[in-house]
Amino acid sequence: MREILDLDRFPLDQPGSPAWNDLVARCRADLAKEGMFNLEGFVKPEAVARAMTQIEPVMETLSFVHKRAHNVYFRDEVPGISEGHPALNKVNTINHTVCGDQIAESVPAWIYEWPQFAVFLAATMEKATLFTMRDPLARLNVMRYGDGEALNWHFDRSEFTTTLLLQAPSGGGDFQYRSNLRTDTDPNYDGVAATLEGRDPETKTLHLTAGTLNVFKGKNTLHRVTTCKGPRSRYIAVFSYYERPGVMFSKQEQIGFYGRAA
């Protein structure tokens, strides 16, 4: 793993050491303040390049094009929200997805399966344990956004979202977000409207570089990736962990997200 990750700067292989504890404390502080943490240069440049040579041919030949119109909740009916609220407006998302079973021998898969990665993530999120998914499709995805494609405003289903940028696009493709916009007890519909209408000064834009690990509280953070522009696509790996073992998507969910069932 030392050939893939910069373990001198990010000593994930030394859990419990002073350097590991300092890194975890820093990530926890960023999560508490910003709703996310970023480790730029987490994956070494040569490993990022290797990942792209492994994944790009699969993406070009076997990826599933996932295109849908949706609102920020991915639901047609939202109790308690008024008709005509901007959060109910449909927006378009399109991406090209490669599943975990298609890239089992790749840099992102090796990182995902490395036990110390899950140990580190659990510590930053203050979880007792995190488990890889049993689902061979959903456990690890790599998504590509080409010219004119975007991931539009939404909340995630999971509490935390863990991503690794493999390639930045020629233009656009910026990560925009508003952290801590809602809670489990307060949907803050007025605040959601303000963000969507560009009236929220707390909305931020993040310019990620290839090799950056990004972890954020996706369930309560409204976020999007702006439209990509130019010939070079945006490639991002998404890692899925859960607090219980054996998690699987339903066949219906698999077909909806990936066009096929496991």
Provide the residue ranges of all domains of the chain, joining segments of one domain with +: 18-258
Q: Quick one: pLDDT at residue 234?
A: 98
| Closest CA relative to residue 148, chosen from 241, 39, 45, 230 | 230
Q: Which helix (H) or strand (E) holds 29?
A: helix 18-34
Q: Phi and psi dihedrals of 52, rounded to 5?
A: -65, -35
Q: Quick one: pLDDT at residue 174?
A: 94
Q: Quick one: pLDDT at residue 76?
A: 82
Q: Quick one: pLDDT at residue 10?
A: 98
Could you tell me which CATH number the domain at 18-258 has?
2.60.120.620
Burial 148-159 (b: 16+ CB within 10 A, else e): ebbbbbbbbeee
Digit-by-digit pLDDT tens for the chain (262 residues) are 999 999 999 999 999 999 999 999 999 999 999 999 999 999 999 999 999 999 999 999 999 998 989 999 988 888 889 888 999 999 889 999 999 999 999 999 999 999 999 999 999 999 999 999 999 999 999 999 999 999 999 999 889 999 999 999 999 999 999 999 999 999 999 999 999 999 999 999 999 999 999 999 999 999 999 999 999 999 999 999 999 999 999 999 999 899 999 9
Q: Quick one: pLDDT at residue 75?
A: 87
| Closest CA relative to residue 201, chosen from 191, 189, 212, 186 | 191
pTM (2 d.p.): 0.94
Q: Quick one: pLDDT at residue 211?
A: 98
- Rounded Cα–Cα distance for residues 56 and 63 (Å): 10
